Amino acid sequence: MLPDLLCDDLSVVICGTAAGTTSAQLQQYYAKPGNKFWATLYQVGLIPVQLNPTEYLRLLEYGIGLTDLVKAKAGMDHILEKEDFGNQQMVLKIKQYQPYCFCFNGKRAAEAFFERPVAYGRQEMVIGRTHFFVAPSTSGAANKWWNIDLWKELATFSKALA
């Protein structure tokens, strides 16, 4: 639905489950007004200026990339089926670009990728130099599980790796 925002030597790649309907329509990552993604990146210090969805390409200036585990569908997580997830393709992207940190924006994508339940925070798995992290979803639909402290931990963790 959305093109990957990836290149070599990124400090962190943030991976969502699938583009939301609004994001797919506008062709902008995290475009729905209730999503806390852009404010969170700024508040935790991952980016030095507040950006909005129309400026998503600027994330590369700050060493941040974006992708989604599901590329062929858009919408809420509950509409996705197991065969929609591109785990093998994602492993190939990780091996190709080797970001220092690969962060899942929400547990749904992480659990689909790891094929098991996961806890928030750092994960044991490493591929090459890439370490993994699971942060709470920034989606407004996931406010029940929101905790900005884990995003602060991601900022510290990813900066220490790069």
**Domain membership flag for residue 26:** yes
Instruction: Annotate 5-23 with b (16+ C-beta within 10 A) or e (fewer).
Output: bbeeebbbbbbbbbbbebb
Ranges of H-type helices in 15-139:
21-26, 37-43, 87-97, 107-114
In this prediction, residue 69 carries a pLDDT of: 87
**Domain membership flag for residue 62:** yes
- pTM value is 0.91
**Domain membership flag for residue 111:** yes
Domains of the chain: total: 1
pLDDT tens, residue order, the chain (162 aa): 799 999 999 999 999 987 788 998 999 999 999 999 999 999 999 999 999 999 999 999 999 999 998 755 444 554 445 554 445 788 899 999 999 999 999 998 899 899 999 999 999 999 999 999 999 999 988 888 899 999 999 999 999 997
Q: Whole domain around residue 101: which residue ranges?
A: 12-161
- C-alpha span between 122 and 115 (Å, rounded): 16
**Domain membership flag for residue 4:** no
For residue 156, give the nearest of 113, 93, 103, 119 by alpha carbon: 103
Helix/strand/coil (H/E/C) assignment for every residue in 145-162: HCCHHHHHHHHHHHHHHC
CB 93 within 8 A of CB 68: no
Torsion of CA 27, 30, 32, 37, to 10 degrees: -160
**Domain membership flag for residue 98:** yes
Distances (CA, A) of 30 to 63, 85, 88, 103: 18, 19, 24, 15
In this prediction, residue 89 carries a pLDDT of: 85
- C-alpha span between 48 and 82 (Å, rounded): 37
**Domain membership flag for residue 155:** yes
Which CATH number fits the domain that encloses residue 97? Answer: 3.40.470.10
